[in-house]
Structure 1
């Protein structure tokens, strides 16, 4: 089961860090993209090859110090089939390196459409009796806007294939409050979604005591996160907003339960493009090493904050 594998990885590596693989071609080092531009021209093929090489180097350098990686599919989809091929190959490579993969796809739709999304990203597709795996990920992010039946469509594949999902509850973007903070019948929308997640979490409990149905809860809104932690005690939080978006290790402590578990903290730009921090002596030629150093520093900062607040899982 996904959640048991995640908690095992966290404990073995003593790390709650997730690295977001959100490649931006303009930020990929010239030493990488220049090689493919010279070979293929400024084409979709060149971009996809550059992204894949870049991702592999990042994965090689962080695979022993982070719990999971989280490729955001939009950064691949924008380059069409070539980009999606890089996404698939990135996921497979990360899995070969022993990492769990959270496919950041934010899908969600009515009935059969959600089931198709579930087949594609969590289960298998059936072609006249022959099953095929499409995207090799362990968990996904899901948009609950269309309601509870949207989420229910994913549960069957989560249980059958041992996968997981993180439902958007309180997101890190500045405009999230326009809808998520609205009060309906005495409750904020994000509180209503949290109740839906908590109910679903009871259907997918692992031996570790946590559920494979988790929640996306932003580090940039620590007070809300503290309240939501109590509302969803069995759900793991996928926490965006650390680093480049402004949240620190101290801001995310309340995303964790008293046992020091219950959350994984994502950082994307702050790790994968760490080589740009020239003040630290990083160079583009050693962008992988720079990512590793930032991942280690993030892991240690989070563990120090947890220990200071009496929330140790080790």
Structure 2
């Protein structure tokens, strides 16, 4: 079995001194064709890998390309594994019964064993069971949507709903004993004033904080999401790195370096 996801992520965070999660969201409209998309995406991954604690491919952009897109995703995951870079597959899956089991098998076992998956809990907490079981059995992890980064999240996540989800994440984490668990949480970096609250509510959860860069979140505001020692959270930037200046690879590298350095500085402030 591979090293459990949370442990591998923490080890890389401390060894490389990075809390940056690089999102790889390749938009076909930015490229000549799918081959150009594939080449640039893999180049961004390889170039920025030393600056990353993990990567986060958004499955929608690969699925939009059909079978060729899924083949590109396989290459992205294979290269990341070769670079010893943890992979969070951003799919926001969630369903009932055998369908949830099939999603868990698709993205947390086999070729993707040891990776993590974002999961939508809004069909009920029991829908998390197949994902939790698969993650625990294969050294993976899941990141449960608790408080997402989009402005209209309050339509469904207000009125105490996010608090209920956070309590379930905390309960699942406590089942595993001390330390960071295989059940993490998505909390938008666009809610900096709430980060201390969510950190306290889910003490064993690794927090995935999307929204750095293009969505307006600032690294300087995010220190409250981390546990002592600067672990327990990663902050995701996607467009702000992959398309920092069109398809300029050097601009992608500079953007990743800046985000990494700003996150580290925030923890020292």
Shorter-chain-normalised TM-score: which range? over 0.9
Alpha-carbon contact 1:140-1:165 (below 8 Å) kept: yes
Matching of residue 77 in structure 1 with residue 80 in structure 2: no
Structure 2 alignment gaps of length 5 or more: none
Corresponding residue for residue 224 of structure 1:
194
In structure 2, C-alpha distance between the alignment counterparts of 1:212 and 1:205, rounded to whole Å: 11
SS of residue in 1 equivalent to 2:251:
helix
SS of residue in 2 equivalent to 1:239:
strand
5 Å-filtered alignment, 1:4-43, equals: 4-28=7-31, 33=32
Matching of residue 175 in structure 1 with residue 136 in structure 2: no
5 Å-filtered alignment, 1:75-224, equals: 75-124=61-110, 133=111, 135=112, 138-181=115-158, 183=159, 188-204=160-176, 209-224=179-194
Corresponding residue for residue 306 of structure 1:
267
Deviation, 1:137, is 6.0
Q: In angstroms, what is the RMSD of aligned CA positions?
A: 1.5
Corresponding residue for residue 48 of structure 2:
62
Quick one: which of 28, 37, 40 aligns to 1:51? 37
Matching of residue 274 in structure 1 with residue 244 in structure 2: yes
In structure 1, C-alpha distance between the alignment counterparts of 2:166 and 2:113, rounded to whole Å: 27
Residues 155 and 78 of structure 1: CA distance in aligned 2, closer, same or farther (over 3 Å):
same
Alpha-carbon contact 1:172-1:218 (below 8 Å) kept: yes
Deviation, 1:25, is 2.1
Alpha-carbon contact 1:71-1:102 (below 8 Å) kept: yes
In structure 1, C-alpha distance between the alignment counterparts of 2:229 and 2:162, rounded to whole Å: 25
Alpha-carbon contact 2:114-2:138 (below 8 Å) kept: no
SS of residue in 2 equivalent to 1:63:
helix
Corresponding residue for residue 38 of structure 1:
none
Corresponding residue for residue 234 of structure 2:
264
SS of residue in 1 equivalent to 2:214:
helix
Deviation, 1:97, is 1.9
Alpha-carbon contact 1:166-1:238 (below 8 Å) kept: yes
TM-score, normalised on structure 2? Answer: 0.94
Residues 71 and 242 of structure 1: CA distance in aligned 2, closer, same or farther (over 3 Å):
same
Moved over 6 A (4+): none
Deviation, 1:289, is 2.1
Alpha-carbon contact 2:113-2:138 (below 8 Å) kept: no
Count of residue pairs brought into register by the alignment: 266
TM-score, normalised on structure 1? Answer: 0.81
Structure 1 alignment gaps of length 5 or more: 34-45, 125-132, 277-283, 309-314
Alpha-carbon contact 1:169-1:217 (below 8 Å) kept: yes
In structure 1, C-alpha distance between the alignment counterparts of 2:169 and 2:19, rounded to whole Å: 21
Corresponding residue for residue 43 of structure 1:
none
Deviation string 1:179-212 (CA, Å, 9 cap, x unpaired) is 101x2xxxx1000000010111123457xx2112
